[in-house]
């Protein structure tokens, strides 16, 4: 039946389907870190719904929370009305947030997806500041919607949201490796920070002060590139100085993934706006924007949406957040991440196709490079996307699910559940070792 299902899906679904092509399995059951396919095989899931499943699949606490709502007879869909489930979710969320932000913030339920929340955050910043521009970084990923509001006719809601490159200024993200600007390490950090400062403060920069600066504390889809702590602190200081709201996109980095509760915690930075999705809904669709109360300048109905009150997602999210806090899973992610990074670094001696190993906590990436090529001026070997694809396939054939990312789609990304057990981490490393041997020339 698996082959039949895969073939039918290929025939019926859009050509844009992606994961189903790279990972031709038919999941029928899942528990913890494992997915069982229709072929009866078990797969270690190091993709976790693109980093969504912080507690792995079907965690008992999450299932119990969902069942409780289902069995209680509570309404499952109520737009954004007040409910006990939402009240409880909001309390759990406030417990987890950085205390400086939680002390005086507002919570906006933005819709089911991370992209919804990014759009809401930008629109909020535009409304609050009366400005239009947005600064974002090279390598950034914030979602796939292209300003749905640009198509909308109602001026009042549309005005602060009109999307498009005309309002976007793209800034260089400091890149530690294969820096596209030829500036590695501290040099790149300093140059990027100075560039932002110049755009905001130099009357000859030719760039208007923007409504917001949007940043990922660790770029995920961009190839698992952590923002250097000092650089993020400089960005915070500069934006604060010029009254520009700093939006941290914590869709992927939030809730323990990077070894601290939020990605910005590594730098000790408190953003003005935090965009949350993925783990915030415990595996069900939910997205939230949290921001300093003083930015709450939009009028009633300025930002609406039908599916902003998913009760099951809120229940699953509350259970997930509480479990992450109670079990200190952020610290566990930090510890496991370090252990995995140490082993991967050791593997580099045996596997020259392993380039830079990056990431934080259980958000890890390794560049797959061509060891036979000539390094560039900064000592980086060229990316090897074909080898990376073969590696992903070799991993899958050995029962490990992982994805690729980065500018050349040559970064193998690992996003296992935060609940990954020690023996599962060992299994992952052993399998990776074998898969690397299999693709070595």
Return residues touching ligand PMP (CB under 6 A).
50, 113-115, 118, 141-143, 216, 220-221, 249, 251-252, 277
d(CA 65, CA 185): 45
Q: How far is CA 72 from CA 75, 92, 312, 316, in A?
A: 9, 20, 12, 15
Q: Tell me the closest approach of the beta carbon of residue 180 to ligand PMP, in angstroms.
A: 20
- Closer to ligand PMP by Cβ: residue 120 or 196: 120
CB of 254 to ligand PMP, least distance (A): 9
Nearer Cβ to ligand PMP (150/373): 150
What is the smallest separation between the CB atom of 312 and ligand PMP, expressed in angstroms?
17
Long-range contacts of the stretch 398-401 (C-beta < 8 A, 24+): 398/431, 398/434, 398/435, 399/41, 399/42, 399/43, 399/44, 399/431, 400/43, 400/44, 400/46, 400/428, 400/431, 400/432, 400/435, 401/23, 401/25, 401/35, 401/43, 401/44, 401/45, 401/46, 401/47
* Closer by beta carbon to ligand PMP, 351 or else 360: 360
Q: Which is nearer to ligand PMP, 121 or 384 (CB)?
A: 121
Cβ 302 to ligand PMP shortest distance, Å: 21
**3-class SS of residue 383:** strand
CB 108 within 8 A of CB 90: no
| CB nearer ligand PMP, residue 277 or residue 419 | 277
- Phi, psi (5° rounding) for residue 357? -110, 125
Cβ of residue 252: shortest distance to ligand PMP, in angstroms?
4
**Main-chain dihedrals φ then ψ at residue 217, nearest 5 degrees:** -60, -35
> What is the smallest separation between the CB atom of 220 and ligand PMP, expressed in angstroms?
4
Smaller CB separation from ligand PMP, 118 or 381: 118
State the residue number with the nearest CB to ligand PMP: 114
Kind plus residue range of the DSSP H or E element containing 45: strand 42-45
Least Cα distance to 316 among 97, 51, 70, 46 occurs for 70
Closest residue by Cα to residue 356 from 207, 184, 165: 184
Q: Do the beta carbons of residue 413 and residue 403 sit within 8 Å?
A: yes
For the bound state, the minimum distance from the C-beta of residue 249 to ligand PMP, rounded and expressed in Å, comes to: 5
- Give least dist CB 142 to ligand PMP, A: 5
Q: In this complex, which beta carbon is closest to ligand PMP, that of residue 115 or of residue 381?
A: 115
Nearest to 19 by CA among 405, 435, 279, 313: 405
Helices (H), 288-360: 311-326, 329-350
Nearer CB in complex with ligand PMP: 113/138: 113
């Amino acid at each position: 039946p698996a082959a039949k299902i895969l073939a039918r899906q290929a025939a019926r679904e859009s050509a844009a389907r992606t994961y189903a092509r790279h990972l031709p399995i038919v999941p029928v059951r899942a528990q913890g870190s494992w997915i069982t396919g229709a072929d009866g095989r078990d797969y270690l899931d190091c993709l976790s719904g693109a980093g969504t499943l912080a507690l792995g699949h079907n965690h008992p606490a999450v299932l119990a929370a969902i069942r409780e709502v289902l069995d209680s007879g509570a309404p499952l869909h109520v737009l954004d009305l007040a409910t006990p489930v939402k009240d409880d979710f909001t309390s759990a969320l406030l417990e987890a947030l950085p205390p400086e932000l939680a002390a005086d913030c507002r919570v906006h339920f933005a819709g089911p997806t991370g992209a919804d929340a990014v759009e809401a955050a930008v629109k909020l910043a535009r409304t609050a500041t009366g400005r239009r521009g947005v600064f974002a970084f090279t390598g950034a990923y914030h979602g796939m919607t292209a300003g749905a509001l640009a198509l909308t006719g109602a001026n009042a809601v549309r005005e602060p949201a009109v999307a498009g490159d005309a309002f976007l200024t793209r800034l260089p993200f400091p890149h530690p490796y294969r820096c596209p600007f030829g500036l590695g390490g501290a040099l790149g950090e300093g140059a990027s920070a100075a560039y932002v400062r110049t755009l905001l403060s130099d009357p000859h920069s030719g760039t208007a002060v923007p409504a917001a600066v949007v940043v990922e504390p660790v770029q995920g889809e961009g190839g698992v590139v952590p923002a250097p702590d000092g650089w993020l602190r400089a960005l915070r200081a500069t934006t604060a100085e010029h009254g520009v709201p700093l939006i941290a996109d914590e869709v992927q980095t939030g809730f323990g993934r990077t070894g601290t509760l939020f990605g910005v915690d590594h730098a000790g930075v408190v953003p003005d706006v935090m965009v949350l999705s993925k783990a915030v809904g415990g595996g069900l669709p939910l997205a939230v924007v949290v921001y300093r109360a003083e930015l709450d300048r939009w009028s009633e109905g300025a930002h609406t949406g039908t599916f902003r009150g998913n009760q099951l997602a809120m229940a699953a999210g509350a259970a997930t957040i509480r479990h992450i806090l109670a079990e200190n899973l952020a610290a566990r992610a930090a510890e496991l991440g370090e252990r995995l990074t140490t082993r991967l670094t050791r593997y580099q001696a045996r596997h020259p196709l392993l380039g830079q190993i990056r990431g934080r906590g259980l958000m890890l990436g390794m560049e797959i490079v061509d060891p036979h090529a000539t390094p560039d001026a900064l000592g980086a070997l060229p990316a090897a996307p074909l080898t990376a694809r073969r590696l992903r396939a070799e991993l899958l054939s050995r029962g490990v699910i992982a994805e690729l990312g980065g500018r050349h789609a040559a970064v193998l990304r690992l996003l296992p559940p935060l609940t990954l057990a020690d023996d599962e981490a060992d299994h992952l490393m052993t399998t990776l070792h074998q898969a690397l041997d299999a693709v070595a020339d």
